[in-house]
Amino acid sequence: MNIRTFDLERIQSLYENTVPINLTESGFHPYTLEELLTPDQIKMITSTVLGYGQTNGSIPLRQIISQLYPNCNEDNILVTNGSAEANFIACHTILKPGDEVVMMVPNYMQIWGIVEEMGCTPKKFHLKEEHNWKPDLEELESKMNSKTNMIALCNPNNPTGYVLRLEEMKAIVNIAKKYDVWIYCDEVYKGADLDNVEKPSFYGMYDKVMVNGGLSKAYALPGLRLGWLVGPEKLIANTWAYHDYTSITAGILSHKIGEIVLQPEKRKEVLRRNISMLNENLKITQEWTEKHGDSLEFVPPKAGGMVFIKYKYPINSTELSDWLRLEKGVFILAGDVYGMDKHFRIGIGAEKKELIKGYEILSNALNERFNV
């Protein structure tokens, strides 16, 4: 096998649906169709002919997506099966064997595995926890050279919830321009800002930018598997060629629902619901960690659906996660999947009652094992 196992996704897939309390969800508690759509819209969905549809995305869907980005139209959009497929296609479109990719870490590590499988070399630049997860831009520039072909970002960041400031985005663009490289940014959490002020996309800041998006995270619709790529028209045409070899098309029902959800007023409604959930659950999480003194701490996220908690217990993060799952029935994601031991990730987009129940179990378990 030429590609490494994607530990984060494999671990979640194995256990998230088999534990009594799952605290690893990276998005928001998903909608049902009854909650999301009107009766007339549901009737329209149930009467839809289950054909293929346009393989690069329906024109209405691509048009409504394009309105989320500056100076963009439907020819700048490719619709994919979730943002995971978007990441795979983007890398195979932009990169060639021997290229180097400088990647923000911590990060959703799918791109790291794809880059290695392609015969490229990934290099890290860090968000610094001691500086509230601000990026080390000097480190970024130190990793650049003539072989670099991409800077890979995740903004808002998974798992820290950090959001790049505009001046940081501009500095990264200047570095990319200096070395004439692509910026690829995973923006799947765009719109899930705790302050309810949506931050700008990298798209439109530089002519060699491609970004992704999707309905799984900020929109609480992971089951639709609807994502997209946004980029220069010629590059997007090339991504469509790769899409023909991967999944061919996203599902027709996902297209139809996406056209509804991304209408301006409906989009605002969905994001408001999820941001409200995020703020309420963040407060609960802060109160919970404070009960554990200096054993648990985290930098509050600015966006996204999770917190990345640092702990001081004398135990490896995978061992801690396995023990809690097997012995206590509660599942947290080990920091090891991000290459960061002594941390764990908790999804705070869960239902409030489930989160409170999970924290009660965690507290009892930690007090039992570590006498705190």
Does 37 reside within a domain?
A: no
% residues pLDDT > 70 (the chain): 99
Beta strands (DSSP E) in the chain are: 21-22, 77-81, 100-105, 121-128, 134-135, 148-154, 182-186, 209-214, 226-230, 296-297, 306-311, 330-331, 333-334, 343-347
Given pLDDT bands bounded at 50, 70 and 90, which one contains residue 1?
low
- Number of Cβ within 10 Å of residue 66's Cβ equals 18
pLDDT of residue 2: 78
Q: What is the CATH number of the domain that holds 314?
A: 3.90.1150.10
Examine the domain organization and report whether 76 and 181 are in the same domain.
yes
pLDDT of residue 88: 97
pLDDT of residue 14: 82
Domain that holds residue 72: 51-263
Examine the domain organization and report whether 305 and 330 are in the same domain.
yes
Examine the domain organization and report whether 154 and 92 are in the same domain.
yes
Examine the domain organization and report whether 26 and 115 are in the same domain.
no
Indicate the residue among 210, 229, 263 that finishes a domain: 263
Number of C-alpha atoms within 13 angstroms, CB side, residue 260? 16
Q: 198-223: per-residue pLDDT in tens? A: 999 999 999 999 999 999 999 999 99
DSSP percent split of the chain into helix, strand, coil, nearest 5: 45, 15, 40
Q: What is the CATH number of the domain that holds 124?
A: 3.40.640.10
Average pLDDT, the chain: 96
Given pLDDT bands bounded at 50, 70 and 90, which one contains residue 13?
confident
Average pLDDT of the segment spanning 116-125: 97
Examine the domain organization and report whether 205 and 56 are in the same domain.
yes
Examine the domain organization and report whether 310 and 332 are in the same domain.
yes
Does 302 reside within a domain?
A: yes
Q: Alpha-carbon distance 155 to 89, whole Å?
A: 19
pLDDT of residue 127: 98
Does 310 reside within a domain?
A: yes
Does 305 reside within a domain?
A: yes
Indicate the residue among 263, 280, 300 that finishes a domain: 263
Asked if the model's pLDDT at residue 103 lies above 90, the reply is yes
Six-digit token string for 173: 């663009």
Examine the domain organization and report whether 27 and 94 are in the same domain.
no
Does 292 reside within a domain?
A: yes
Asked if the model's pLDDT at residue 372 lies above 70, the reply is no
Does 80 reside within a domain?
A: yes
More confident residue, 6 or 225: 225
Q: 123-163: per-residue pLDDT in tens? A: 999 999 999 999 999 999 999 999 999 999 999 999 999 99
Does 230 reside within a domain?
A: yes
Average pLDDT of the segment spanning 9-30: 88
pLDDT of residue 246: 96
Average pLDDT of the segment spanning 14-32: 90
Examine the domain organization and report whether 258 and 271 are in the same domain.
no
Which is nearest to 346 in space by CA: 298, 293, 310, 306? Answer: 306
Q: Alpha-carbon distance 102 to 87, whole Å?
A: 15
Examine the domain organization and report whether 111 and 134 are in the same domain.
yes
pLDDT of residue 5: 84
DSSP, collapsed to helix, strand or coil, labels residue 3 as coil
Does 192 reside within a domain?
A: yes
Examine the domain organization and report whether 274 and 241 are in the same domain.
no
pLDDT of residue 118: 96
Q: 273-326: per-residue pLDDT in tens? A: 999 999 999 999 999 999 998 999 999 999 999 999 999 999 999 999 999 999
Asked if the model's pLDDT at residue 44 lies above 80, the reply is yes
% residues pLDDT > 90 (the chain): 92
What is the full DSSP assignment across 132-196? TTEE-HHHHHHT--TTEEEEEEESS-TTT-----HHHHHHHHHHHHHHT-EEEEE-TTTT-BTTS
More confident residue, 13 or 243: 243
Q: Alpha-carbon distance 148 to 168, whole Å?
A: 20
If one counts the domains in the chain, the total is: 2
- Number of Cβ within 10 Å of residue 347's Cβ equals 24
Six-digit token string for 245: 């070899």
Examine the domain organization and report whether 239 and 356 are in the same domain.
no
Indicate the residue among 263, 293, 319 that finishes a domain: 263
Examine the domain organization and report whether 273 and 344 are in the same domain.
yes
